[in-house]
Structure 1
């Protein structure tokens, strides 16, 4: 009897902790889940935002050097770093980037216009930092990852029959159906959500941990904390020098490491006496983002940092980013991350819907809070669609950030006034209309490029989403009419 009582107390405490974390952090966790799901396809979105630029599967070292030198010559203030981003399978473009600007390169090495993807950058900043100052934002996002881990484990502890009920699903049973959906998705996708939350926490809290470690053991030098993993950068040397070769290190990599996929070239302190370069190359059979291969200004190979063959700590650290964002395995892995990400959105959304339904069943309804939660769930994609359309009208940067947060706050407030069912239908309709408007603005801007390889895929998926949302709104309207004509059938069922 005592053992049963202790077990019941453990379940009750776990459920209370689970409910508390969800209520306090649910909205931000939902926003991170939604934006993280989209961020998996950030390369496809970048490509879609500018469908009318040159694309290629590779570029010759000499052509890359010509384009890079052209960009360097256009710099008004000397840059401290020059980057060449090479074509990849999901982003088949060459981009030359400095501290202040970025340009596309044509296959022959000429400049083909500036790189600009304001909405995708807005999306990434929302997921990385929640639009807060960088260090603070990373800390908050990392802490939210830890909260998601706490939710996962408290949810497991709160369900002692988790294995017995692993295949239980009561279809058409109102709140019980929602509970089964929440529990089954949570159990079957737990490995993904745990690894994703853990890697997100590591990425988010790394800067704060580095500051703490540096303060204790490295006299405040955070660089010294990361140097054993990513390699130390030599001290800058004053004085001008002839520009280091860009083509030579790239030719060396193609000759000596033909099995590697070169993704980036970095020239540190270009045009100075201390300039040197690094090539980042992917290993196709590894989870790491790549390894650094270093060269002197004369193009002499200095060896690799060791992310591919160094200590276990280096190799694990090098894999964290790819594991979190699904940057491995190509399109099949991205589609799997899409499914898991959407599953996490459903888990979070249904969790608080269950909470509000239980309040109704216990005679303590909170219709305004339930409506506000629908404002979060459906207002987030609505405002992402609205900001997408605004970006094609010329809004970017702080303008998109302001529009998103003000618009979301307004939708949450209005949804709280309207109530759960009405809010859901209205905001779904807004999302469909905003997405359709964004596609119209996109087609006006880019014309026939919408039908290119870069433009067609995302546009088609967006149009399918418009159709799905419109269908959901129409079906929901039919259910509301049926509910009014047969109210007795809905007694005791939550208005979802």
Structure 2
């Protein structure tokens, strides 16, 4: 038996104290990042869901890509000249071609004709929240990177604080006291998700803090020139020449790539400084069975081959940097990996939620008042998903230019102030039921409004409707089922049924 003052017990106590302190400091923001991260794993599918009636195509030929570029640039006559032009090629997740300039983004069909404006503001809102919490980009990346470091520390201290972690890995006492069951869920899900959480936390910290590190290096060694700092990894752009010239020949570049690297699947075509003598072409292509986000192939303005940057077969540092993004966002392995990332991200949400709830209830057992903190935490847990849905409705009613970020954060701040001032008005059970009903209603109305949507879009509605409708039906049935004669229901059972 371990003595209370033994070194092992001291390490466990210190780890538990550090785990609690860091968790309380970062739990709300980590929960928001985990929730939004779980959603944006399938951001391409959400983009289809948000704009379900856009013409789709599985293939965009080189000639059609060239026509699409010309059509979009022609439609922007009189607007400021764009410095970059992008063609997002159709993929299985998003079978739509998109041409983007500095002035906007447009869908094009398989023949290269413009068919509509890209306006998936809610999806972009989710992505921006996860990547930099809608703060100014540099400060947001610093904060998100720091939260990734905190999450790594939470994992390490959590493991150190549980010396019986292996023995108890499959111990789940669901029918015991709710506090014990909640602690078991926290500990078991925390153990089972350790590899995933470490992977996404470390890569998130690398992505967030890495950009800041590059900025510091640029200020110290290149006078703030970011392109020179990134050049060893992502390549060096040729010298610009602003003299006018015919638009770059992306069609020839795509055909050359198809001949020289037949297994590469183009995903993005980028024209730097289009319509000038200094323009050049970069084609980002997916390499099957590789973790890298793709290899970038460079061509001159006439479509002549200049070679790859080396993300697929260059220095190890390049390959590691190119693999970080897919490992963090789950953009590899298709739908099966995306589902796994969403489930594991959901588990991280549960771990974060139960961790803070356990601490609050521990305070209550010690006789410390925590009603205000508990009400604020309930607003975070259930108010955040409810507000994400509210922003979706705001986007639908007010259009793609609706102030989603301002609406979300101002509403969340107001709800927290109300919870702190009047904790009695915050009822967790009502919030949970409201979230479930709002999700189910949104999916049903979307399905009714867009019955001719592609099967992939309808599948998302079905995946949402079936489990939520089943859960609500089961809970409603339990509430209406009369108790058997002579059955004595404890206060805890009554509370569980109400929840």
TM range (shorter): over 0.9
Tell me how far 1:470 sits from its aligned partner. Answer: 3.6
Please name the residue that 1:121 is paired with. 124
| Superposition pairs of residues 270-281 of structure 1, within 5 angstroms | 270-281=274-285
Tell me how far 1:164 sits from its aligned partner. Answer: 2.2
Tell me how far 1:338 sits from its aligned partner. Answer: 1.0
How far apart are the structure 2 equivalents of 1:282 and 1:142?
A: 27
Please, which runs of 5 or more residues in structure 1 have no aligned partner?
none
| Superposition pairs of residues 315-334 of structure 1, within 5 angstroms | 315-334=319-338
Q: Is 1:51 paired with 2:52?
A: yes
Please name the residue that 1:366 is paired with. 370
Range 234-243 or range 34-43, more displaced = 234-243
Tell me how far 1:288 sits from its aligned partner. Answer: 0.3
Tell me how far 1:172 sits from its aligned partner. Answer: 1.5
Against the structure 1 CA distance between its residues 478 and 491, is the aligned structure 2 distance closer, same or farther, given a 3 Å change threshold? closer
Please name the residue that 2:144 is paired with. 141
Please, which runs of 5 or more residues in structure 2 have no aligned partner?
none
Q: Pick from 245, 254, 276: which aligns with 1:241?
A: 245
How far apart are the structure 1 equivalents of 2:64 and 2:281?
A: 17
| Superposition pairs of residues 186-201 of structure 1, within 5 angstroms | 186-201=190-205
User: CA deviation digits over 1:185-233, x for unaligned, max 9?
Assistant: 1111101000100001111112211122223333332222211001011
Q: Pick from 263, 267, 270: which aligns with 1:266?
A: 270
Range 457-466 or range 336-345, more displaced = 457-466
Q: Pick from 163, 167, 170: which aligns with 1:167?
A: 170
Against the structure 1 CA distance between its residues 132 and 393, is the aligned structure 2 distance closer, same or farther, given a 3 Å change threshold? same
Tell me how far 1:477 sits from its aligned partner. Answer: 6.5
Contact 1:390 1:438 in 2 (8 A): no
How far apart are the structure 1 equivalents of 2:409 and 2:155?
A: 28
Tell me how far 1:367 sits from its aligned partner. Answer: 2.1
Contact 2:3 2:9 in 1 (8 A): no
Against the structure 1 CA distance between its residues 282 and 259, is the aligned structure 2 distance closer, same or farther, given a 3 Å change threshold? same
How far apart are the structure 1 equivalents of 2:456 and 2:359?
A: 43
Contact 2:87 2:98 in 1 (8 A): yes
Q: Is 1:352 paired with 2:353?
A: no
Against the structure 1 CA distance between its residues 110 and 321, is the aligned structure 2 distance closer, same or farther, given a 3 Å change threshold? same
Against the structure 1 CA distance between its residues 188 and 242, is the aligned structure 2 distance closer, same or farther, given a 3 Å change threshold? same
Please name the residue that 2:309 is paired with. 305
Contact 2:419 2:425 in 1 (8 A): no
Q: Is 1:16 paired with 2:17?
A: yes
Q: Is 1:184 paired with 2:188?
A: yes
How far apart are the structure 1 equivalents of 2:308 and 2:73?
A: 26
Instruction: Tell me the SS of whatever aligns to 2:60.
Output: coil
How far apart are the structure 2 equivalents of 1:17 and 1:106?
A: 55
How far apart are the structure 2 equivalents of 1:421 and 1:161?
A: 40
Contact 1:382 1:428 in 2 (8 A): no
Against the structure 1 CA distance between its residues 343 and 475, is the aligned structure 2 distance closer, same or farther, given a 3 Å change threshold? farther
Please name the residue that 1:28 is paired with. 29
Q: Is 1:252 paired with 2:252?
A: no
Against the structure 1 CA distance between its residues 88 and 488, is the aligned structure 2 distance closer, same or farther, given a 3 Å change threshold? closer
Instruction: Tell me the SS of whatever aligns to 1:82.
Output: strand
Q: Could you tell me the TM-score, scaled by structure 1's length?
A: 0.92
Against the structure 1 CA distance between its residues 111 and 35, is the aligned structure 2 distance closer, same or farther, given a 3 Å change threshold? same
How far apart are the structure 1 equivalents of 2:353 and 2:492?
A: 25
How far apart are the structure 2 equivalents of 1:140 and 1:489?
A: 40
Contact 2:394 2:402 in 1 (8 A): no
Against the structure 1 CA distance between its residues 358 and 253, is the aligned structure 2 distance closer, same or farther, given a 3 Å change threshold? same
Please name the residue that 1:464 is paired with. 466
Please name the residue that 2:83 is paired with. 80
Against the structure 1 CA distance between its residues 396 and 59, is the aligned structure 2 distance closer, same or farther, given a 3 Å change threshold? closer
Please name the residue that 1:392 is paired with. 396
Q: Could you tell me the TM-score, scaled by structure 2's length?
A: 0.92
How far apart are the structure 1 equivalents of 2:11 and 2:262?
A: 57
